[in-house]
Structure 1
Amino acid sequence: MSEPDWGRLDNYSQFSDIPGDLHQAFKSLRRKYYIPPTTVRDPTRFGSVHFPEIAKLEATSVIQTDFLPRLRNRMNSLSSSLDLSAIFEHPESQFELMWQSKCDVAALLDQIQSATFVISSYHTPFQADVQHHMELKRLKMFTIREKIEGLISNKICQVVGDFQRFLRALLYQKQTLSELAVLKQNIDAGFTSSLASIDSTMAWLTPPVLELVQDGWPSQRAGMDIQLNKFLMIIDPNTGLNEKIPRFIGVPSRARFIGLSELVIPVIKLSRTFFHKLSNIFFEKI
């Protein structure tokens, strides 16, 4: 059987127009570790493949040796350029706030490294062929891997991008005061949206425990919540309506996802604190 239409799958798993370095890295990993189904009727074709240790190391290496160093350099360059006397002419009493902000940058990057390391361990290649791609898309059957990948490539990268946009605006001073105020408001709303999105994602990924007896599937189907139903089963388009059976995706325990959210959410909150600190220093001065 031929390989999937990677272009379609890449577009399907991309949540926004912010691809990010991690999304690109995982796209290449998906191709490298793809295992084609043996037959059209292969019952394991939708199963999650065990993520090889070498692939985990490779993903972590991309994060540690490429993404994080470049991110750290960019952020340190921006923060070290914030010469208060030259740019904002703050009184000396404000220097402590600025140095604390630099410490926040280092803490933020350390938390991003911890979060991305943990998240990368959840990533598994996804098996799907072109025949079933549209069925999956129609049902919005986003897998755990795609949800986690979305958190990495969009939420964290978006927050860092918001930092950079505002810092550049302050450093270059090309915007008017009203434009900066609007930018500040929009970025603040973005932080709130990011936190809400992560909260809803974690809730979506931790559904209540539901035991299904495969032999009793037809009689249980009518009383089951339809959205939870779609999450827990994969509908095989090759079978008739009455023959559709649940396919379990191997949902990790709630505790593991709670631990994951405890790493990701502080990254966003720390980012928001850092942003507020810098923007408040600026707006209080002018």
Structure 2
Amino acid sequence: MSQIASIMAFVSPQPLHSSDRADDQHLKRFKSFRTNDLNDNVSEIRNQVSSICRSACVHLEQLDLSLVSIFMDDSYPAVYQDLIAGTLDYIDFTIKCLDKSELNAAEKHWEGWIHQINFELDRSIVSVVSSTALYHLHNEDTRFGRELVIHLTELVIPIIKLSRLFFNKLSRRGMNSKPLASSTGMNSQQIRCLSESAHAVWMTIAELLNLLDKANKAPEADPVYTWGITQEIKNLASQFEAPLLIAVLYLVPLIPERDPDHNYYRDWFATWNTQMVLATNRFLHVARSTDRIPS
């Protein structure tokens, strides 16, 4: 373990370089974003090895070696096997990460947030449906009752679907399924932006639905103004500007031009952007038709 620590100190000296460096695009696998990820993985390996050692110490302390019976129920070997197998798997995962693409490194950070976006999509659908199997799984109070709130929620559903579709297209279900080069012209700041984009999108979607829920329940004396709702939808649209540019400038060019998928992904992102602009403008047009949500 001391050898591993020495190697990591050389590759990623303390204090760690900022993972938001904008001048390391030439460092390939040694960009600060990648070395920070590697350092985190190695720290986890060290923790797992320590757990194995602690488990062994406890086992030895519990054994009275002079009185051990052949009938003694000793389950510790199974514990060791599970801990060791898990650690070996994580070591293998860490080694493979070194050869993975920067898109793969970013996706590792956003995977969990896609599930949260799916949750918000279900939440929005349940809020406007009247009679479906999905609806019957939820309390009747979850359905919106005010006409404008229902209409705005119906308009936000395509925006949430487009948000999810963007990340699915970049993920292992889409572009990341192709054998991409391990490094691009991106710097660590751009990789970080891509890796955190799904989290930012989810938070904005959740806040938007919270505002719609608040508008649906607000008393007449204290109405919700549509300004805050329009700001959230504009925030959501703006959060795709950098990831979309990164995809077009750095990720699509990784696919050789002779590969039909090169033009496919280039055209797909252009079409996606058009659909997102149209969906956002439809929402804003309706939201701006009044300054407050009528009761």
The answer to whether the superposition gives a TM-score over 0.5 is: no
Short-chain TM bin: 0.3 to 0.5
Q: Which has the higher contact order (CA 8 A, sep 6+)?
A: 1
TM-score (norm. length: structure 2): 0.43
TM-score by length of 1: 0.44
